[in-house]
Amino acid sequence: MDGTSSMIKHQKSCQTSNKYNRSEYSTIKQYFRPKTSSSIPRTMKEKITNAAVELVSLDNRAFELISGDGFINFAQTVLDVGQTLSNRQNLNILDLLPHPTTVSVSFCGIGLFHLNDDLQLYVFILGCYPYDRDNQSSNQIRQFIDSKLMEYHLTLDDSKFVVCDNENKMKSSFKDLCTRVGCSIHYLNKQLQHCFTTDVIDKMPVDCDIVQQMFNSIRQIVSHMRRSHKQFKLSRKLQSYSDSRFNSAFYTMNVFLIVFDELAGILERTYMNDYMLIDKDLFASVCLFLKPFEEVIEQFSCDTKPTIYKVLALRQYLLNHCKIDPDDHDGIQQIKIFLAKRIQDIWILQNIHYITTFLHSSMKNFHVNLDLQEKAIELVQQEMLKRQPTAPSNTFTPTATTSACTNALDSKSTASKDLLSSCFDIPKIDLKSTSPSYDELKEYMTLDVQLTEQDDILQFWLQQKSKFPILFSVVQDFYAVPASNTSIERLFSSSKNTVTDKRSSLGADKINKLLFLQKNLTLLKSFDKKTSIEANTNEMKRKMVEKSSPTIFNANQEQSITTTTKKFKMNEVNVTLSDDNYEEENDEVDLF
């Protein structure tokens, strides 16, 4: 007998007893967790690793995600819940995960555009407010806007213009007590979006099948390249399509065209079929065709200069651009037919577009479309009549035209006696007989001044202020209106940059205040600087007056001095006062 044989018998005895007592007694591992984790099968670890790789690939996330405390806590919670529910069958993980849009906050951006008496354009971003109303009906939206404007003691009325997108709820929200102007970029972008992504619009087929099939192939390849992290092999980073980005189809296809030849050696066999379906010549023609649309959008997006006068001319430019050429590819012809019809029918010109185009000296003759000049002149005449000052009674000379007008008005008042008279034409008012505005309009029409695209239209009208006072007032009110609301749309991009990984828990009000400072700080500091200069100027003037006062007092007190001495003293006083005036003149020049 040796010790080994004894231990074998003891071990067999323990195994027999454990077989009956395992369910009755707890093991020590249930009370004390071992320092080293229990061994996990290698196949299980590989399965989790593969799932993690698929997670970061499919959802376009960084590998660092799985090392975060939040993810570890989330995974541990899922594991614990899984152990608790292990006895249940047919359990789907989708039943446990929350909906991704559990928390949703809408925002409303408000901006203010103003031209002062010197035709300086000021753009204020009043705020990017979290929308806190019960719903997004037109009444609720209008009440929300009015309440935010009241915080700045501002109200909307018929003399104010509101530029917004062209959704039905926005049209309904601003149909009263203001003049709504549709965002020109929104009109244009929606038609480009329908051209590449929509089959039917307003119950009518889009009929752009050729380019839509090509665009779908491009989107699939772009999506695959971004998910597979192969973009580092390309000279340019591919751009995904987004409905919220203006002219996004052009951005996506333009970058894709640049790296088109590089993709042939990178793509997998699965996506080579989509790649081979793309006609490169047609693809290049589509990108070339879309480039003018991008240039027009850039023109409308400027918020440092007036843009409203460009709408009519650039709209006509795009319509001319959509004229079909016999050599065009069938796909290009489909695009041109669709966009030309949609721009003509959907992008409606408003009175302000006619008036502001006429008030640009290089476009007042409407060479882009001669049929529109007559309507523009009529609208300008009506606007001038509203603004003309009341003429003195001794300067008014009755004419046959005014008499005819009076008779027409009298006949209208007796319409109840003679029904047919209410249907008679009312003679037009002759501007020549009623006000000097006719002469002002006529003189402007004969003015031979041609401005280039680089010339400042506001500087031109500032020089013509005394010559055309009524037209100047129209320019001051109408040229402050932007062609689009991109300054507000950019707020949402700015808010994305404000809320970063380091500042992920900012409240909506805090974001609003940060954006207000970000957008307005430079302008507010310029106002503060101007106020400081004016205060310093007034202080210098006050000191100069205080210095000159004792000299004046001494000159008045010395009445017994000789005449020669008096003259000398008075000259001293004049010199001092003259220096004060000279200082004032210098101050005025500096301020100007």
Residue 357 in domain: no
Residues 341, 197 share a domain: yes
Backbone region of residue 529 per phi and psi (left: phi > 0; alpha: psi in -120 to 50; beta: other values): alpha
The type of residue at 530 is K
N-to-C CA span, the chain: 117
- Cα distances (angstroms) measured from residue 200 to each of 205, 334, 341, 550: 4, 14, 14, 88
Residues 515, 559 share a domain: no
Residue 171 in domain: yes
Residue 210 in domain: yes
* Token pair in block for residue 558: 């010395």
Residue 315 in domain: no
Residues 192, 180 share a domain: no
8-state DSSP, 371: G
Residues 115, 86 share a domain: no
* Token pair in block for residue 153: 């003691």
At residue 369's C-alpha, the angle toward residues 165 and 186, to 5°, is 10
List the one residue out of 180, 250, 188 whose CA is nearest residue 215.
250
In degrees and rounded to multiples of 5, residue 22 shows phi and psi of -60, -35
Residues 260, 295 share a domain: yes
CA distance 353 to 234: 45
CA distance 309 to 479: 7
CA distance 460 to 472: 10
Q: Which of 44, 64, 95 is the last residue of a domain?
A: 95
In degrees and rounded to multiples of 5, residue 136 shows phi and psi of -115, 40
Q: Which of 60, 95, 130 is the last residue of a domain?
A: 95
Residue 54 in domain: yes
> Global pTM?
0.65
Residues 143, 193 share a domain: no
Residues 235, 195 share a domain: yes
Establish how many alpha carbons lie within 13 A of residue 29's alpha carbon, considering only the half-sphere containing its beta carbon: 6
Q: Which of 523, 540, 573 is the last residue of a domain?
A: 523
pLDDT tens for the chain, 592 residues: list them. 455 566 666 666 666 555 545 545 555 555 555 555 567 888 888 888 888 888 888 777 788 888 888 888 888 888 888 888 877 777 777 777 776 655 567 778 888 899 999 998 888 888 878 888 888 888 999 999 999 999 889 999 988 999 988 888 888 999 889 999 999 999 999 999 999 998 888 888 889 999 999 999 998 888 888 888 788 888 888 888 887 777 888 888 999 899 888 888 888 888 888 888 888 899 999 999 999 999 999 999 888 889 999 999 999 999 999 999 988 899 999 999 999 999 999 998 999 999 999 999 888 888 888 888 899 999 999 988 888 764 443 333 333 333 333 333 343 344 444 544 445 445 544 444 445 566 888 888 888 888 888 889 999 999 988 888 899 999 999 999 999 888 777 766 555 555 554 455 556 666 666 666 666 667 667 766 666 666 666 666 665 666 555 544 454 544 444 444 433 333 333 333 333 333 333 433 333 2
CA distance 207 to 95: 42
Residues 544, 516 share a domain: no
H/E/C letters for each residue in 546-589? HHHHHHHHHHHHCCCCCHHHHHHHHHHHHHHHHHHHHHHHHHHH
* Token pair in block for residue 282: 């047609």
The H or E element containing residue 255 is helix 248-258
Residue 29 in domain: yes
Residues 338, 215 share a domain: yes
Domain membership of residue 60 as a residue range: 3-95
Alpha helices in 302-399 (DSSP H): 311-321, 330-346, 351-358, 373-387
What are the DSSP E strand ranges found in 116-224? 121-130, 161-164, 179-182, 200-201, 204-205
Q: In this structure, are residues 217 and 275 in contact, taking their beta carbons and an 8 Å threshold?
A: yes
β-pairing, 204-205 with 200-201? antiparallel
* Token pair in block for residue 550: 């004792």
Q: In this structure, are residues 278 and 252 in contact, taking their beta carbons and an 8 Å threshold?
A: no
Total of domains in the chain: 5
Residues 191, 340 share a domain: yes
According to DSSP, the residues that pair with 164 across neighbouring strands are: 182
Residue 260 in domain: yes
Residues 235, 266 share a domain: yes
Residues 194, 177 share a domain: no
Q: In this structure, are residues 517 and 125 in contact, taking their beta carbons and an 8 Å threshold?
A: no
List the one residue out of 392, 394, 344 whose CA is nearest residue 369.
344
Residue 359 in domain: no
